[in-house]
Amino acid sequence: MRNIPTLEELHELPQIQQPTYEDPAKAAQVVAQLRSLPPLVFVAESDSLRERIAQAAVGKSFILMGGDCAETFDGVTADNIMAKLRVLLSMSVVMTYAAQVPVVKIGRIAGQYAKPRSKNTETRDGVTLPAYRGDAVNGFEFTPESRRHDPERLIDSYNASAATLNLVRAFVSGGFADLRQIHAWNSSFVKDSHVEKKYEQMALEIDHAVRFMRACGVEDSTMSKVDFYSAHEALLLDYEHALTRIDSRTGRPYVTSGHMVWIGERNRQPNGAQVELLRHVYNPLGVKLGPTATVQDALEIADRLDPDRVPGRISFITRMGAAQVRDKLPAIIEGVEASGRKVAWICDPMHGNTIETANGFKTRRYEDVVEELNGFFDVHKQLGTWPGGVHLEQTGKDVTECIGGAFQLNEDDLVNRYETACDPRLNRNQSLELAFMVATRLNEFRNLDEENVPERNM
């Protein structure tokens, strides 16, 4: 077993994007309380997810990651959680049919309560206060009390995550995930929106397949139950360290705040505190790579986190931007593949495509999201590698935060239901439309396999 660094040792290393607590003794008390609480996820579930990600790395599955940019404590309601699950499950049905491989469903859920920020402060009408860093750190309301960094919020984050996971487990095992019901939602979306005809055809084909299974008497649990995993950015050292546990079966340490955690673009310093903590745990790990990342950056952090090259251990989540993905991504993929590593390549088409409108709203153009995804698929097609997944900021609600899509939301619509606590999310309709777009591209890779031209590099 590898030794786990102490929290004090981690605090001595380079670290960024961490809270600044006025009362260190109170923060230490909260961390001690967290250490006494039960794990939020089971180690065996993290091992199962790592095995499924290993399949995605060699073209035998596809990863769908999605959820809020920043979860909020107020968002922990049955209706809100149900809406998130519904849209992810609906998307996964379309992608599964197109790719003809299992879709690994991972939610940005039950832990995404902290966000890195580009500025430490925010100024409004001449008043400057600490920036909002997520409900795990401070409040969204623009007041000195709300914006104070409060360690008690770590306990609130734990409780909110526990409640969310409890409800998610009940939903996915209690019939909510029934394939026939999920497909009915997709059929309704296609019928009532203005999507392309080819999407209508795909929905019709899925309908025929579901009817065929029903006629054949397929009624086992695979029709109504799914495996669903949770993931978040491992940003807050105190929280993640406090929820690191030793597996009684193997003696290995795992972060038990989520099945998978990732390191953000701002925090992937190979000698930084986040990397130092996570290189000791056995969860599957994601690493965000932006347009400034090089092959050397990717290989250095992969070697640091995964020196033993464990299958499914590393996923690279690329966020290049629509304008740069075709130029920046090929060299990184080629370099990593040439090293002999097999990682899961996941496209985050959201973070590299954020803009600000003239009236001050942060938003994303649906067409830019699609363009980055198309670039991602095009690069993998050219290189003969497998596009392992997508990573989206989305919601199951009908918000107006991203412009474009089948319903042609424009900048004037943003004011109607702009509800995000941080970055703009795809709404339900935009998410489902994107699922059909991704499914179309996945279908191309399936056809290439069937023709064996070209053979994928696996």
Residue with tokens 């089948």: 406
Alpha-carbon gap, residue 182 to 362, rounded angstroms: 32
Short-list 186, 153, 48, CA closest to 104: 48
In this prediction, residues 237-257 reach a mean pLDDT of: 96
Dihedral angle sign, alpha carbons of residues 235, 307, 41, 11: negative
Burial of 397 (0-12, 13-18, 19+ CB in 10 A): middle
Dihedral angle sign, alpha carbons of residues 220, 223, 224, 229: positive
Dihedral angle sign, alpha carbons of residues 280, 282, 283, 289: positive
Cα 317 off chain centre by: 9
Q: What confidence score (pLDDT) does residue 218 get?
A: 63
Q: What confidence score (pLDDT) does residue 454 get?
A: 45
pLDDT confidence band for 177 (50 / 70 / 90): low
The number of beta carbons lying within 10 Å of the beta carbon of residue 153 is: 24
In this prediction, residues 298-326 reach a mean pLDDT of: 97
Asked whether residue 449 carries a pLDDT value surpassing 90, the answer given is: no
Residue 451 assigned to a binding site: no
Residue 351 assigned to a binding site: yes
Residue 276 assigned to a binding site: no
Q: Please, which residues have CB within 8 angstroms of residue 335's CB and are 6 or more apart in sequence?
A: 295, 296, 298, 299
Q: What confidence score (pLDDT) does residue 174 get?
A: 75
pLDDT digit string, tens, across residues 188-237: 666 666 666 676 777 777 777 777 766 776 665 555 578 899 999 999 99
230: Cα within 13 Å, side-chain hemisphere: 27
Asked whether residue 377 carries a pLDDT value surpassing 70, the answer given is: yes
Beta bridge partners of 389: 63, 346
Alpha-carbon gap, residue 281 to 253, rounded angstroms: 5
202: Cα within 13 Å, side-chain hemisphere: 27
Class level of CATH domain 7-15+53-108+223-445: alpha beta
Short-list 115, 101, 34, CA closest to 67: 115
Supply 152's token pair.
């008690």
Alpha-carbon gap, residue 252 to 235, rounded angstroms: 22
Supply 105's token pair.
């469903």
pLDDT confidence band for 448 (50 / 70 / 90): low
Residue 108 assigned to a binding site: yes
**Pair 304, 2: CB distance under 8 Å:** no
Residue 288 assigned to a binding site: yes
Alpha-carbon gap, residue 188 to 427, rounded angstroms: 16
What mean pLDDT is reported for the chain? 91
Domain ranges in the chain are 7-15+53-108+223-445
pLDDT digit string, tens, across residues 17-37: 999 999 999 999 999 999 999
Residue 393 assigned to a binding site: yes
